[in-house]
Amino acid sequence: MATNKLTEVAGLVAQAVMGAKVKDKDGNAKTVKPTGDDNLLDLTDIVAGGSTGGNTGGGTDPNHPTAGADYYAGSLADGEITERYLLYQRDESVAETTASKTVTLLRDVGSKFNMVGDGATFLVHLQRTAMAKGAKGAVTDIELNYDSNNAAKNGYFTTTSPYPIYIKSADLATKKTLAIPINGIGESLSGKNVKAPQLNVTFNDNGTMTFESVTGYDNDGNSAGATGANYEVIVDVIATFSTQPAVAQLPPSVNLFSGSASGDITLTGPSNYFENVMDGIEITFEQYAIVDRAITDAFDAPGNHNFKYRFDVSKLGIGTIRLAKEDLIIGNKINFLSQLKFLSTVSGFEYYDNGDDRWKSYDPQQTIKFDSFDNTIMTIKQNGVINLGLNIILSEDDSGVVGTAKTPFKLNVSKVTTYKD
């Protein structure tokens, strides 16, 4: 049967696409219908990175995805992040708090946060509370693992939200509360009843900043009492940041310092803000910790009270420590105490014989009670300078006689290199 032109047009219209179904970054289906007189599909918000709130990835540039206030300003690994100066550091001697907290910033950032480069960067961790049938259990700390592929990593909370957190000056200048969700698979627990933990941030024009945590969770959703974990965001450090073109990175294991030093140690090779040190720096300590006086009279040889004594620090598990690039912020004070090992006693001391001009084993081998470490803080300074003075405190001899004063054995740095994870 012959058809006229009107019938042909009707058939084409009947088969024409009148809409589209798409999925956002979270896998949620969305129907997009034509808008306006031109019957065009509006996909701009989909292409820009997702139509739902809390987007922390996507964007037209996969290397620098935009995400509103929380955005990926550049790669710390490639040296695109520079001029990081400390604005706030959590006092680790004070219990962690998840309540609203207002802190005074350490630098003048201007009333519109316009005097410190491109914005503020945050280093955070999560406080994890185990939940068992609705009852709270152990409270522990868990670090973030930023992975755009959202693959779970044992012992970490995996997030697809750009980390470290970067907030633009323009967004802070609005003085509005900015919501920064920590999206991602987390610890990959039940996945049934999930809410991302969130950090709320407000810059106040009086040189202060207010932040608070909004509880997140991952549990089985049991209405009679859920099992899983709750998560709170703890702010450790706030710093300034600026962006720049990527800089060439020093290869792994490049020597930045070699010798014997403590206090201020000037490294050779790092750029002004440590932008080029690969994934961070590795610090190697000398083999021996040394003291130049006796611990007790029983420890010292009769009539020789000015001898030097030393012991091999490998007995305390001390060899090297690593400081991640994200922590190398000018003014940051890094406590690496968790990387050191505590023992009840140490032994195997040697003394320096001036007459023979050499070290000799002390006989009988003295066992001294280990007390503590002192000065386990590494301070990051500008122009490749780090500051450290590490002492090992020993307090008693093997007979239980306490010395007149706790004795510090000085431990120096022998080498500093770059490293790659």
Average pLDDT over residues 119-132: 96
Average pLDDT over residues 220-234: 95
Candidate from 44-48, 154-158, 300-304 with smallest mean pLDDT: 44-48
pLDDT at 303 over 80: no
The predicted structure's pLDDT at residue 39:
54
The predicted structure's pLDDT at residue 172:
93
The predicted structure's pLDDT at residue 13:
44
Average pLDDT over residues 389-399: 72
Q: How far is CA 367 from CA 374, 394, 399, 402, 408, in A?
A: 20, 10, 9, 13, 15
Distance CA 298, CA 399 (A): 9
The rounded mean pLDDT for the chain is 82
More confident residue, 226 or 54: 226
Number of other residues whose CB lies within 10 A of the CB of residue 13 = 9
Average pLDDT over residues 326-343: 90
The predicted structure's pLDDT at residue 366:
66
Q: Do the bridges between strand 228-243 and strand 86-89 make them parallel or antiparallel, or are there none, so unpaired? A: antiparallel
More confident residue, 84 or 370: 84
pTM as predicted: 0.79
The predicted structure's pLDDT at residue 364:
56
pLDDT at 78 over 60: yes
Q: Among residues of the chain, what percentage have pLDDT more than 90? A: 56
The predicted structure's pLDDT at residue 297:
45
**Closest C-alpha to 131, from 199, 195, 217, 196:** 217
Average pLDDT over residues 129-148: 95
More confident residue, 78 or 34: 78
Distance CA 411, CA 136 (A): 43
More confident residue, 253 or 57: 253
pLDDT at 294 over 90: no
Average pLDDT over residues 45-61: 37
The predicted structure's pLDDT at residue 399:
46
